[in-house]
Amino acid sequence: MATEIKMPALSPTMETGTLAKWLVAEGDQVRSGDVIAEIETDKTTMEVETIDDGVVGKLLVPAGAENVPVNTVIAILIDDADDSIAGASITDDSIADVAVVDKAAPENAAPESAAPATVSAPAITEAAEIGGASTMLTVRESLRDAMAEEMRRDERVFVMGEEVAEYQGAYKVTQGLLDEFGSKRVIDTPITEQGFAGLGVGAAFGELRPVIEFMTFNFAMQAIDQIINSAAKTLYMSGGQMGCPIVFRGPNGAASRVGAQHSQCYASWYAHCPGLKVVSPYSAADAKGLLKSAIRDPNPVIFLENEVMYGQSFDVPDDDVLVPIGKAKILREGTDVTITAFSIMVGRALQAADALAAQGISAEVIDLRTIRPLDSETIVASVKKTSRLVTCEEGFPFAGVGAEIAIQVMEQAFDWLDAPIARVTGKDVPMPYAENLEKLALPQVEDIVATAQAVCDGFRG
Amino acid sequence: MVAKADTKRKKGPGRPPKAAAVKINNIPATDDLLAMYKDMLLIRRFEEKAGQLYGMGQIGGFCHLYIGQEAVVVGLQSASKPGDTVVTSYRDHGHMLACGMAADGVMAELTGRAGGYSRGKGGSMHMFSREKKFFGGHGIVGAQVPIGVGLAFSHKYKEEPNVCLTYLGDGAVNQGQVYESFNMAALWSLPCLFIIENNQYGMGTAVTRAAAGRDLADRGMAYGIPGKQVDGMDVLAVRNAALEALAHCREGNGPYILEMKTYRYRGHSMSDPAKYRTREEVDAMRKQHDPIDQMRDLLKNQNISDDQLKAIDSDVKVTVTKATEFAQTSPEPDASELFTDILLPDTGDSQSAKV
Ligand SMILES: Cc1ncc(C[n+]2csc(CCOP(=O)(O)OP(=O)(O)O)c2C)c(N)n1
Ligand SMILES: [Mg+2]
C-alpha cells in the first residue's frame, strides 16, 4: 500500500514552508524515526521524520521549493513487508505521515561582547518623512533590530525573559542577540513571570534599562501586580523620585486557535492605569521606531506586539529613526468616515477601506500606534472632517479602547458627529478553540465594512 | 534509571534517582500489568495520531504530546481510588485517557468538534470531565497547582477519603504560586499529592538552567512535605511510589511530593525546533528506557505470548482509529455555541438570597 507524505503544519500560524532539503532519495528504505527532510518556515528550520516504515517511492516536491502549502503531498512511501510486533510498537502502520522532531544543532557560542557605546540623542523624526534608504523587513526583524541598536547605544539596556537567549526567542524576536551581547545582557529566566517582572522593576530603580519579554501577554497576568503596583505607581508614591524606565514587551491578542487562556488583548487593561504608556504598532517601521522610543523613555512602557504580524514585511528606514510615543498616524485619507485601529486591526481596516471605496464610501484610516497617551487630537480633527467614527479592536467591547475613544470624541467633537459612534470588537466571549467559532469571535474585514456602511447609510443627509 | 540531561552535573535536579529511592516490592497481578501496558500503548498511539492530524492541519493551535512520559500517569492512576481528583497542565491528553475519559471525546476536542469534551470550545489544553474527576487541562504554567490544593481542600472539607493528584512540570516548579500552594497544603494537612513530571526540559530550557538547589523532590522540605524521586520511565516503580504516597495523603498526613524522572521524546509542542538537545540524547532514551518496551519485556518474562500482545495492539489501534473517525466526522459546534456557557443562569437559591 502506498502512503502519501504531506507537507506538515509546524505551528499554529504556518500556511506554507520551504522544502529546504531532502535527506532521502527515491528507493531508500526508511524506518520510523528517520529524518527525511528539512523544512524552513519564517521562524525556523525543522526536521521532518517519517513515523512509518517503507521505501521512498517518489519525491514529488524538489528540494529548494518555496511556499509549499501545508498538506501538499511531498512524497510517496511504499510499504515494505515488515509487520513485526517490534515495528508496530513504535509506528502506526495504518496511516503514514510525518512528525516534526528534534534537530540537533551545535549550541550557539555566546561571546561576552558588551562594548560600551556612546549615548547619542537623535531628534525624533517621522519614518515617513525620512528620505533615506530603506529595506523590506519583517516586524520580527525590526523589533530585534530596535533592541540591538539600543543595546549597542546604551550598555544599561538588557533583555530578559523566557527562552530569549539560547532558544533565540519563543517567537524568534530576540534571534541573534545572545551572540552579539552575551549572557550578561540577554538572559533566560525560569518560568517565573511575577519574579522577573519584579526583578526588572528593581533593576530599573537601580538605574538599568530592562526590556522584559513576556512569551505572550497572557502570561503577564502572572506579573500584573508588579507592573501596576510597582512599575506604574511608584513614581507618584515617591513624590517623583523613583522613575521606572522599563519596557514590558511581547505578543498580545489572538494568535490562531490557541484557546481562551492564550488569546486575549490587554490594550485596555494596561491603558486603564495612570503611570503606564501603552504602545501597539502595526507596521515594521513603527514597531522599530516605537520600541526604540520605548527603551529610551524614562517611564514604564507596555509594548504590545502581535504574533500573526511578526512575519509580515514592510519598508523600514535604514537610519536610526525614532517614532514618537503618543502620536497616531493617518494611513489613508478620506472624507466620509473615520476608522481607528491598532496593531493587526490596522491591516483589516485598510482592507475595509478598499472595499468601502469600491462602494463610493471614502474612509479615513487612523493607526493609533499608541493607546496611552491617546492621540485624541488626531482622531478629533479627523472626525471633524468626516463626521463619523468607527473604532476597531480585537479585544472585548466592555470598557474597551473603543469605549474610551468614543467618550473622548463625544467630549471634544459631539457637535460634529452625524451618526452615533460604532465599535468593531472581538465578541464578548472567552476565545473559543473551534475553527468556525474562533472566526466568528474575531472581528473580520467584513465586520468593519458592514459597520462603516451602517454608520454612513443610516444617517446620510 | 533515567539518563541525565547534563552529565557534568553531579548534584542538583539533573542527577539520577537515588538508588534506594524506590524498591519494587510488589509486582501486580498479570491482569493489572496487562491493563497498564494497554493504557500506556493507548496513550502512545493516540498521541502519534494527534501528531499526524496536527501535521495535516486538522488540529490547530498548540498541541503538546505526552509520548515518552506514559508510565508516569498510568502508574499513578493505577494506584488511585475512585473519587480521587486530577488536575494538570496543557500536556494533558495522556492524563485524560488514564482517567478513563473516552478517546473519541478527547480526539474530537483536538479537532474542535461538537463531540469533544468541551464541545470544541477548549481545545488540546483545556478539557475537563466532572464525571471522571478530571479538572483540566490548564494553559498557564503553574496555575493548576493551587487549584489542586483547592480540590484537596474540598476533599477534606467534605470528609471524603480522597486525594487530589496535582501534576506539574519541572519548569512549573519555579512559579511562585507553587510555594504558596505547598505552604497552605502543609499548613492545613490537605490530601494533595504533587507529582512533578521532570522531563528534563521546560520548553527549550534544561532543568539545570532553570532550577537552583537540590532535587525537585526536595522543594517541599521547608514546609515539611516529604518528597521522593522516582524512575518515571518504569511504570511499576511509579505505581509503588504512588501507592505509598497516596496512602500517606489519604491517612490525613498532609501533602506529598513525587518527582518523576521522565523524558518527552517529541518537541515541547508541534512547533519546536529542538536545538537545545541532541538527537542522540533522544534516541538513547527511546532505545534504552522506553516505558512501553520495558513493560513488554516484563510481560514476555511473565509468559505472555506474542499473540496476546498483538491482540492488545490491535485493540488499541481500533480505539484510536475509531476516535479519529469520530473526531473527523463529528460536526463543528453550532454557531450559537459562541455565546453559551459564559455564565450559568440564576438559580432559585440566588434569588431568595437577595430577598
Ligand atoms: C505563566 C506561563 N508562562 C509561560 C508559558 C509558556 N509555556 C508553556 S509550557 C512552558 C514550559 C513548561 O515546562 P514544564 O513545566 O517543564 O512542563 P512540560 O512542558 O515539560 O510538560 C512554557 C514556558 C505559559 N503557558 N504560562
Ligand atoms: Mg518539563
Point out the domain boundary residue: A256, A291, A317: A317
Asked if B166 and B193 count as a contact pair (C-beta separation under 8 A), the reply is: yes
Contacting residues of B for A45, CB less than 8 Å apart = 273
Q: Are residues A313 and A336 in the same domain?
A: no
**Which grid coordinates are listed for B98?**
488514564
Residue A130 confidence (pLDDT): 55
CATH number of the domain within which A336 lies:
3.40.50.920
Q: Are residues A141 and A266 in the same domain?
A: yes
Name the amino acid, one letter, at B88.
T
pLDDT value at B20 more than 50: no
Point out the domain boundary residue: A317, A338, A373: A317
Asked if A73 and B26 count as a contact pair (C-beta separation under 8 A), the reply is: no
Give the count of beta carbons closer than 10 Å to the beta carbon of residue A40. Answer: 15
Q: Are residues A302 and A337 in the same domain?
A: no
Alpha-carbon span A238 to A233, nearest angstrom: 9
Alpha-carbon span B235 to B78, nearest angstrom: 10
- Is B118 near chain A, with CB under 8 Å? yes
Residue B62 confidence (pLDDT): 94
A119 part of a folded domain = no
Residue B348 confidence (pLDDT): 75
Name the minimum distance, in Å, from the CA of A308 to any CA of chain B: 12
Q: Tell me phi and psi for residue A328, to 5 degrees.
A: -80, 170
Tens of pLDDT, residues B294-330 = 999 999 999 999 999 999 999 999 999 999 999 999 9
pLDDT value at B22 more than 60: no
Asked if A317 and A283 count as a contact pair (C-beta separation under 8 A), the reply is: no
Ligand 1 within 6 A of B13 CB? no
Contacting residues of A for B204, CB less than 8 Å apart = 163, 166-167
pLDDT value at A122 more than 50: no
Q: Are residues A96 and A193 in the same domain?
A: no
- Give the A window 209-268 contacts with B, CB below 8 Å: 218-219, 221-222, 255-262
Report in angstroms the alpha-carbon separations of B288 from A211, B104, B226, B280.
43, 32, 30, 12
- Dihedral angle over CA of B131, B132, B133, B136, nearest 10: -100
* Whole-angstrom Cα Rg for chain A: 25
Furthest CA-CA distance within chain A: 81
Ligand 1 within 6 A of B141 CB? yes
Alpha-carbon span B274 to B280, nearest angstrom: 12
Asked if B99 and B42 count as a contact pair (C-beta separation under 8 A), the reply is: no
Nearest ligand to the C-alpha of residue B144? Answer: 1
A116 part of a folded domain = no
A113 part of a folded domain = no
Answer whether B126 sits within 8 Å of A261, measured CB to CB: yes
Q: Are residues A154 and A287 in the same domain?
A: yes
A452 part of a folded domain = yes
Q: Are residues A263 and A289 in the same domain?
A: yes
Of the candidates A193, A429, A433, the beta carbon closest to that of B120 is on A433
Answer whether B205 sits within 8 Å of A437, measured CB to CB: no
Lowest model confidence (mean pLDDT) among A81-95, A293-307, A376-390, B81-95? A81-95
CATH number of the domain within which A162 lies:
3.40.50.970
pLDDT value at B25 more than 90: no
Q: Are residues A173 and A67 in the same domain?
A: no
- For all residues of chain B together, what is the average pLDDT? 92
Q: Are residues A77 and A152 in the same domain?
A: no
Tens of pLDDT, residues B156-175 = 999 999 999 999 999 999 99
Residue A4 confidence (pLDDT): 82
Beta bridge partners of A341: A367
- CA A418 to chain CA centroid, nearest Å: 36
Residue A48 confidence (pLDDT): 78
Q: Residue A26, SS3?
A: coil
Q: Which has the higher per-residue pLDDT, A95 or A349?
A: A349
Report the candidate in B65, B84, B67 with the shortest Cα–Cα distance to residue B76: B84
Q: At what angle do helices B30-55 and B70-79 cross, to 10 degrees?
A: 140
pLDDT value at A60 more than 60: yes
Q: At what angle do helices A284-296 and A139-153 cross, to 10 degrees?
A: 30
- Model confidence band, residue A80 (pLDDT cutoffs 50, 70, 90): low
Residue A51 confidence (pLDDT): 66
Q: Are residues A259 and A222 in the same domain?
A: yes
A163 part of a folded domain = yes
Residue A402 confidence (pLDDT): 98
Residue B16 confidence (pLDDT): 39
A269 part of a folded domain = yes
**What is this model's ipTM?**
0.89
pLDDT value at A167 more than 80: yes
CATH number of the domain within which A31 lies:
2.40.50.100
Rounded percentage of chain B residues whose pLDDT exceeds 70: 91
Residue B354 confidence (pLDDT): 52
**Domains of chain B from N-terminus onward:** 68-92+126-312 (3.40.50.970)
**Which grid coordinates are listed for A455?**
454608520
Name the amino acid, one letter, at A82.
D
Report the candidate in B157, B250, B201 with the shortest Cα–Cα distance to residue A188: B201
Tens of pLDDT, residues A285-296 = 999 999 999 999
Q: Are residues A351 and A212 in the same domain?
A: no
Answer whether A167 sits within 8 Å of B267, measured CB to CB: no
Tens of pLDDT, residues B239-291 = 999 999 999 999 999 999 999 999 999 999 988 878 899 989 999 999 999 99
Kindly give the number of the ligand 1 atom that is closest to the alpha carbon of A221.
1
Residue B74 confidence (pLDDT): 98
- Distance from residue A103's CA to the centre of ligand 2 (Å): 18
Tens of pLDDT, residues A130-154 = 568 999 999 999 999 999 999 999 9
Minimal-distance CA residue to ligand 1 atom 5 = B141
Report the candidate in A74, A78, A56, A71 with the shortest Cα–Cα distance to residue A19: A74
A157 part of a folded domain = yes
Residue A209 confidence (pLDDT): 98
- For all residues of chain A together, what is the average pLDDT? 88
Name the amino acid, one letter, at B213.
G
- Model confidence band, residue B23 (pLDDT cutoffs 50, 70, 90): very low
Residue B27 confidence (pLDDT): 83
Alpha-carbon span A298 to B73, nearest angstrom: 50
Q: Which has the higher per-residue pLDDT, B90 or A73?
A: B90
Contacting residues of A for B272, CB less than 8 Å apart = 100, 102
Q: Are residues A265 and A359 in the same domain?
A: no
* Chain B interface test: which of A74, A437, A442 (most B C-beta within 10 Å): A437
Point out the domain boundary residue: A60, A91, A108: A108
Alpha-carbon span B245 to B115, nearest angstrom: 36
Of the candidates B125, B211, B271, the beta carbon closest to that of A259 is on B125
Alpha-carbon span A190 to B174, nearest angstrom: 6
| Three-point CA angle A202, A207, A210, nearest 5° | 65
Residues in chain B, how many? 355
- Model confidence band, residue A338 (pLDDT cutoffs 50, 70, 90): very high
Residue B71 confidence (pLDDT): 98
Q: Are residues A168 and A276 in the same domain?
A: yes
Residue A43 confidence (pLDDT): 64
Helices (H) and strands (E) in chain A, counts: 13, 23
Answer whether A92 sits within 8 Å of B48, measured CB to CB: yes
- Model confidence band, residue B214 (pLDDT cutoffs 50, 70, 90): confident
Average pLDDT estimate for B57-66: 96
Residue B350 confidence (pLDDT): 65
pLDDT value at A84 more than 90: no
**Which grid coordinates are listed for B101?**
475519559
Ligand 1 within 6 A of B92 CB? no
Q: Which has the higher per-residue pLDDT, A297 or A69?
A: A297
Minimal-distance CA residue to ligand 1 atom 19 = B202
List, in order, residues 6 or more apart from B301 with CB less than 8 Å away. Answer: none
- Model confidence band, residue B353 (pLDDT cutoffs 50, 70, 90): low
- Give the B window 237-256 contacts with A, CB below 8 Å: none
**Which grid coordinates are listed for B286?**
527511546
Beta bridge partners of A334: none
Asked if A316 and A288 count as a contact pair (C-beta separation under 8 A), the reply is: yes
Q: What is the number of CB-based contacts under 8 A between chain A and chain B?
A: 226
pLDDT value at B98 more than 90: yes
Q: How many domains does chain A have?
A: 3
A104 part of a folded domain = yes
**Which grid coordinates are listed for A310?**
511578526
Name the amino acid, one letter, at A181.
F
- Model confidence band, residue A332 (pLDDT cutoffs 50, 70, 90): very high
Q: Which domain holds residue A88?
A: 2-108
Answer whether B60 sits within 8 Å of A44, measured CB to CB: no
